[in-house]
A and B are shown apart, each in its own frame.
Chain A
Amino acid sequence: MSARFVAPILTGLFMLALWEGLVRAMAIPPYVLPGPILVAKTLVSDWGTLWPALVVTLSITLQALLAAVLVGVLLALLFSLSRWIEFSLFPYAIILQVTPIVAIAPLIIAWVDDVNVSLLICAWLVAFFPILSNTVLGLRSVDRNLLDLFELYGASRWRVLVDLRLPAALPYFLGGLRISGGLALIGAVVAEFVAGSGGRESGLAYRILESGYQLKIPRMFAALVLISLAGIAIYLLLSLLSHLLLRRWHESALAEE
């Protein structure tokens, strides 16, 4: 059990040590590749600029994720109500999904006046599809016999939805949510890059660009580290949520004895 934590931590420490050692041994200048100690120092010294940027990026990410959940689940419910709606809309959802965000981001940024709103739309576009497709699948993956059972006792469509389809779809939805959490962050960062100048406030991606122009490479690495940490934190939080909701009944959350 503890090997699950110890092993990756040891690997990480080893890689960091190797990195620091190489940078020192080969005397690589910091504007080419800063060592991890310098990056950590920069993270602390530049906290004043990095922290607000992190807050901006995270808030766009979370808003986009929330919007993705709302729209994804609502669309999935609509699809489950009517095949016609599904046939009419699903292909377009797929088109949105397969179109690279970097290609549409400039358009969205040009069309929408408020930069923050356009960033939000970009992040949302990337994030909503896994939630939609997983929830659609989940709402459909209902035991046929259970459906018969509900019919036998004269359950209304509403009861079937609330007591049967939604709980059956929950594990699928949570799986989609975990993917979407990471995608929302990626979407937000990519859109910030494309937007170049941040809006009123600037996110982490803008700080990376800016540090690049000013050759403040350690700060660039520090911002990168923050993005990774944010991504990991989002994944862990959503996994925890999933675990809490499913641990009593779902096979995926079965503890090994």
Chain B
Amino acid sequence: MQLVGIRDVSKVFANGIQALGSASLDIAAGEFLSVLGPSGCGKSTLLRLIAGLAEPTAGTIAWPQGRPDLGFVFQEPTLMPWATALGNVALPLKLRGVARSEREARAAEALAGVGLRGFERSYPRELSGGMKMRVSIARALVTAPKLLLMDEPFAALDEITRRRLNTDLLELWQRTHFTAVFVTHSVFESVFLSQRIVVMSARPGRVRSELAIEAPYPRSEAFGTSADYAALCRLTSAQLSEAMAT
């Protein structure tokens, strides 16, 4: 079932830079999709267009079943430094007028869901980079969105933390059945996480090719070290090089 259809969308910024050139992409409800592309190819722009934070210059973005509730995870944690972890996670609920006691209960639950029980009263300053990212993910999930947009959420983290968060994210996705759109420039990450990878060309970005990753979930460390995984990474990598060359 199609969740969103992106047709020939292009985006030209006021300064004349064309970030996207006629990009088309269908996203199915419930899938885990990765968007892979070189830096500056318009991945963030695409995500912002899907989220409705910017308007396409040309082309259409259609939601056959209506626009779902969505969550957005930015490249940086993007937390309010003056609010506690709990306050940050409760923000989307607050902005939607949920009563205080209920939103705090739900925020605490979301924090526990990302493994941060006991850190409700901590301020962002007191959390490590990985923990801040978890808070950011909890905030995106607290409204139980049907669609979760993530913009290179783990790019700034170390390998060990990133691996753990990847596993946690997959586990969450299997548990809650949201649709995930995961922007990354890491071939390994995209292959490990997703059911489908779309590879974008250099700016102006458009979808160059698509790849299905058919390995079953749950995916564990074992998958990450398998020969299948290595082969898929090689394939994806080749497609990325091709996309960058054109």
A interface residue numbers (CB < 8 A to B): 143, 145-146, 148-155, 159, 163-164, 167-168, 170, 248-251, 254
Contacts and interface: CB of A to CB of B under 8 A. Distances in A.
A145 B51 contact: no
B70 A152 contact: yes
A249 B123 contact: yes
Interface string B204-230: 000000000000000000000000000
Contacts of B123: 248-249
A178 B138 CA distance: 38
Contacts of B82: 167-168, 170, 248-250
Contacts of A151: 53
11 contacts: A145-B74, A148-B48, A148-B51, A152-B53, A153-B143, A163-B95, A167-B80, A167-B82, A167-B83, A251-B125, A254-B125
A163 to B, nearest CB: 7
Contact of B95 (A148, A154, A167): A154
B74 A155 contact: no
A154 B51 contact: no
A170 B83 CA distance: 13
- Which A-B residue pairs are the 7 nearest by beta carbons? A153-B95, A145-B78, A167-B82, A249-B123, A155-B95, A145-B74, A249-B82
A151 B78 CA distance: 14
Interface string B50-83: 0111000000000000000010101010101111
A251 B51 CA distance: 32
Given A148-B48, A149-B72, A152-B53, A164 B80 contact: yes
Given A248-B123, A249-B124, A163 B78 contact: no
A154 B139 CA distance: 15
Contacts of A251: 81, 125
Nearest to B78: A145
Given A145-B76, A248-B123, A251-B125, A150 B95 contact: yes
Contacts of B74: 145, 148-149
A153 B82 CA distance: 19
Given A145-B74, A145-B76, A167-B80, A152 B51 contact: yes
Given A151-B53, A249-B124, A146 B78 contact: yes
A257 to B, nearest CB: 12
Contacts of A248: 82, 123
Q: Taking each of A145, A164, A250, which has the highest tally of chain B beta carbons within 10 Å of its own beta carbon?
A: A145
A146 B143 CA distance: 17
Nearest to B94: A163
Contact of A159 (B83, B95, B124): B95
B164 interface: no
B92 interface: yes
A95 B82 CA distance: 35
Q: Taking each of B72, B92, B95, B124, which has the highest tally of chain A beta carbons within 10 Å of its own beta carbon?
A: B95
A153 B96 contact: yes
Contact of A250 (B81, B94, B95, B143): B81
A242 to B, nearest CB: 14
Contacts of A249: 81-83, 123-125
Contact of B78 (A143, A153, A155, A168): A143
Nearest to B143: A153
A146 B79 CA distance: 7
Given A145-B78, A249-B82, A250-B82, 16 more contacts: A145-B76, A146-B80, A148-B48, A149-B78, A152-B51, A152-B72, A154-B96, A163-B91, A163-B94, A163-B95, A167-B82, A167-B83, A248-B123, A249-B123, A250-B81, A254-B125
